[in-house]
Amino acid sequence: MAKSRSCQAEGSANSVILGSRLHKRSLYSQTPCNVAGFTLIEVLIVVLVMGVLFGTGLSVYSGVTRDSQLRTRTDELTSFFAACRHRAMLRKTPITIVFSNGYLGTDKAQNLRQRLSEVDNAFAAQLFNGLYVNTDGKFTRNGVVVERLKLPVKLPGGQSSTITIEL
C-alpha cells in the first residue's frame, strides 16, 4: 500500500507558521499525517482477478446446471415408463402411450401423465404415439421391441441436447 505524504506538503496545515490561528485549529483536529490506502493499480488488479475467477466459475456452474437438468428430465421419463410397465404387468392389461398437447400419458390411466415442455411436439408425437406396453412389460412399436428412446430436448439458454431413456 502506498502512503500519502500530502500533509507534509508545502502549504498544508502542518507547515503553517507557529502561533497562527490556522496552526492552533490544526492542533485540535488530530488528523494523522500518514494516510494508508490502496492505489488505483492495486484496486484494478483485484477487480481483474475477481472477474477472471467469476467468469471461470460461471462457466463451470452452467455445465453442472445443464447436466443436472438433463439427469432430472431423464429420471422423470424413466420413472414414467417404469410406472407404465408396472401398471401393465400388475393389471395384466396392455397400455398404449399417447403424446398430446405437451403431455405424455396413457390410454388406460388418465392420472398417469408427464409434462414435456422442452421437446418439439411434432417429433415427440412421432416418437411416443404408437408405443405399446405388453402385459409382460415389454415396450413395442409395430410389433418390434423397443429398448431405448432418444429424445432431443431444448434447455434454458437456447442449448439443446439429447437424452436417452432406457426402457
Catalogue all structural domains in the chain, each as residue range(s) with its CATH number. 1-8+16-60 (no CATH), 70-166 (3.55.40)
3-state secondary structure of 68: helix
| pLDDT at position 43 | 92
How many whole angstroms separate alpha carbon 148 and alpha carbon 45?
A: 53
| Contact indicator for 109, 87 with CB cutoff of 8 Å | yes
| pLDDT at position 49 | 92
Nearest CA among 140, 133, 135, 131 for reference residue 89: 135
Which grid cell is 33?
A: 499525517
| pLDDT at position 20 | 58
How many whole angstroms separate alpha carbon 159 and alpha carbon 151?
A: 14
For the chain (167 residues), the mean pLDDT of every run of 10, in chain order, is 54 55 57 73 93 81 77 89 92 91 86 84 87 91 89 80 87
The whole model's pTM is what? Answer: 0.62
| pLDDT at position 159 | 78
